[in-house]
Amino acid sequence: MARMTGKDMVIEALKREGIDLVFGFPGGAIIDVYDALEKDGNVKHVLVRHEQGAAHAADGYARATGKVGVCLVTSGPGATNTVTGIATASMDSVPIVVFTGQVPTSLIGNDAFQEVDIVGITRPCTKHNYLVRDVKDLPRILKEAFYIARSGRPGPVLVDLPKDVQNGKAEFEYPDEIGLRSYNPVTKPNAKQIERAFSLIRQAKRPIIYAGGGIIISGAHKELRAFAEAVNAPVTMTLMGLGGFPGTHRLSLGMLGMHGTYAANMAMANSDLIIAAGARFDDRVTGKIEAFVPKAKIIHLDIDPTSIQKNVRVDIPIVGDCKMALRGLLNIVEDEGRPAEDWIEQHQAWMQQIEAWKARHPLTYKKEPGVIKPQYVIERLYEMTKGRAIITTEVGQNQMWTAQFYKFDEPRTLLTSGGLGTMGYGFPAAIGAQMAFPDKLVIDVAGDGSIQMNIQEMATAMEQHLPVKIVILNNQFLGMVRQWQELFYGRRYAATKFEWNPDFVKLAEAYGAKGFRATIPEEVDDVLSRGLEAEGLVVMEFAIAPEEGVFPMVPAGKATTEMLLV
């Protein structure tokens, strides 16, 4: 065993965990770890322009790769600036490890310069966190942090490093395995529960598979597709589940819930069996809980037992990894040897009804001469990229139009803030994804409001030579809030109209990037083609219809069948 300083232990742990990229911003309380990072030279550091950007970039890296993302910041405001990013990762089950500097242990509690209780502050929004008080404990804590972040239902872990711990010395004994008595996530599902679930599936006439982000996290997309095709069951996805099942597949109903498709919401309401996989029945999906799926029995597959029975009654719970659970169901289908034609015949009337719902109210929008509709921009973006890009989004109307009109056929190609709804997430997340996949096309779809929340990260993208493309749907409004004000507050646009915005093209040029603008529909294709083909960082701004809404829409407190349509 080598005797080592705490700061060197951090770097050695990163290398042992396969971490070769860190996002961060230095300061006095973390300067020693930065010095060790620079001296070692084996872990690349990306200097962001705001600590929130570091947390979101680590998050985007983690979502795009499935690996743990890491960020490194100083104490006080450096640490508190990561809280939004930590909460974002927590809500969407993203594995990140956040290292924060801290004042020396002798000064903790004395209101020292740049001291905050970041462990206390982040306790509600981390999977676990640590204040390291003794350098002897650091190797174990580092191993535990990465293990907890990536195992079970993934999530963020914070490690707070006082300056004396960073500089103290101890034996570096890095554990090969971790055993925590109070933390033993169940991955293998109960075989009897799978058999019970299949007995319901065998009898169902109107089944629907409701797939969430857990499908993508567990890498279960192939099993999901095989199972859906084997039993001829339609699939609807949450926002976080998009890409977990091909959006262009004949069995896909697209997204469900508040801004879901008419067919998906009607199918859920009229189903006799819901097979929920890696989804948590959040309020944006269920709407009025008393009216949610009144005719259906529910099978719920999830690795997190606290998510089962939390919001809705479940008939058959299956705790475990989604991939293993779906493989178990698929094995029964294959062992049974029932002809595919039987499943097709059993669900034929159901599929015909679904096709009728699709035809009755497809996703659409009203075209107006001389006016750019945002849905058209997303449609053309999809067609030009052939669905092969990694798409990040900000939050608001831009996010929902992307979810509706861009078809995601592969997992980890949509990176978006679902549970927390964090404006300013998309661009730094795109930086993280582009760092992970330098040769892939990465596009951030943004609104003029949310892009300004972390627009300073254009400097980071330029410094790292990242060819991220930014599509700004500019309606001069905080669009989603404006839509609610239009529909439910008598068009009183309280604090949602931007009377002043920057010239985004000139702003791009000021950072050294390229900028293009379209103001009429005839310019959309030209701007998209020039922007997508240009080298380096590009901003493409589209002056869209100011009062365009996102539809369908389920008003708050209403059943998901009570949709406002175009």
Question: Distance (Å, rounded) from C-alpha 125 to C-alpha 157?
Answer: 9
Give the pLDDT confidence of 42-62 residue by residue, as tens digits.
999 999 999 999 999 999 999
Instruction: Give the pLDDT score at 176.
Output: 93
d(CA 256, CA 238): 6
All residues at 6 or more sequence positions from 484 whose CB lies less than 8 Å from its CB, including other chains? none
Q: Which fold has domain 2-172?
A: Rossmann fold (3.40.50)
375 is known as an active-site residue: no
User: What is the SS3 assignment for 276?
Assistant: strand
Using only C-alpha atoms, the chain has a radius of gyration, in whole angstroms, of 24
Q: Say which of 480, 540, 553, 563 is annotated catalytic.
A: 480
Is 163 one of the annotated active-site residues of the chain? Answer: yes
Catalytic, out of 17, 51, 541, 548: 51
Is 310 assigned a catalytic role? no
What is the rounded distance in angstroms from the CA atom of residue 338 to the CA atom of residue 372? 51
114 catalytic? Reply is yes
* Options 114, 346, 353, 476, the catalytic residue: 114
pTM score of the predicted model: 0.97
The domains spanning 191-360 and 374-543 adopt the same CATH topology: yes
Whether the CB-CB separation of 227 and 329 falls below 8 Å is answered with: yes
Q: What is the mean pLDDT of residues 290-310?
A: 95
pLDDT band at 128 (very low <50, low <70, confident <90, very high): very high
Mean pLDDT of 411-421: 98
Tokens of 203: 């009898």
* pLDDT for 566: 85
pLDDT grade for 133, boundaries at 50, 70 and 90: very high
To the query of whether residue 113 is one of the catalytic residues in this protein, the response is yes
Owner of token pair 């400097």: 459
Segment 525-566, tens digit of pLDDT: 999 999 999 999 999 999 999 999 999 999 999 999 999 998
CB 154 within 8 A of CB 189: no
- Distance, in Å, from the CA atom of 96 to the CA atom of 158, rounded to the nearest integer, reads 8
Instruction: Locate the domains of the chain by residue range.
Output: 2-172, 191-360, 374-543
Residue 111 predicted with pLDDT over 80:
yes
Determine which one of 7, 127, 143, 163 is catalytic: 163
pLDDT value at residue 452: 98
Output the CA angle 197-200-205, nearest 5 degrees: 140
202: closest CA among 362, 336, 86? Answer: 336
Cis geometry, peptide bond prior to residue 154 (ω within 30 degrees of 0): no
Closest CA relative to residue 435, chosen from 143, 48, 142, 74 = 48
Residue written as token pair 């104490």: 75
Summarize pLDDT for 317-338 with one digit per residue, the tens. Answer: 999 999 999 999 999 999 999 9
Six token digits for residue 391 = 């798409």
- Return d(Cα 57, Cα 71) in angstroms, integer: 8
Q: What is the largest CA-CA distance in the chain?
A: 73
Q: For residue 76, what pLDDT band results from cuts at 50, 70 and 90?
A: very high
Pull the structure tokens for residue 241.
Answer: 């589940």
Which listed residue (38, 39, 113, 348) is catalytic? 113
Q: How far is CA 536 from CA 281, 460, 470, 514, 551, in A?
A: 40, 12, 11, 8, 34
Please enumerate in sequence order all residues whose Cβ is within 8 A of that of 403, keeping only pairs 6 or more positions apart, or say none. Answer: 239, 242, 255, 259, 393, 414, 416
> Interhelix angle for 322-336 vs 191-203, to 10°?
60
Question: Residue 158: phi, psi to the nearest 5?
Answer: -115, 135
Fold classified for 374-543: Rossmann fold (3.40.50)
Question: Residue 1 pLDDT > 80, yes or no?
Answer: no
Q: What is the pLDDT of residue 471?
A: 99
User: Could you identify the residue written with the tokens 């819930």?
Assistant: 257
User: Average pLDDT, stretch 59-68?
Assistant: 98
Q: Cβ(476)–Cβ(448) under 8 Å?
A: yes
The distance from CA 555 to its chain's CA centroid, rounded to whole angstroms, is 24
Q: Decide if pLDDT at 118 tops 80.
A: yes
pLDDT in tens, 181-213: 999 999 999 999 999 999 999 999 999 999 999
* Mean pLDDT, rounded, of the chain: 97
Sequential DSSP letters for 103-140: --GGGTTTT-TT---HHHHHGGGSSEEEE---GGGHHH
DSSP secondary structure letters along 153-174: S---EEEEEEHHHHH-EEEE--
Q: Which CATH class is domain 191-360?
A: alpha beta
Place of tokens 């609104």: 447
Q: What is the mean pLDDT of residues 480-486?
A: 98
Res 500 pLDDT > 90:
yes
Summarised one tens digit per residue, pLDDT across range 146-189 is 999 999 999 999 999 999 999 999 999 999 999 899 999 999 99
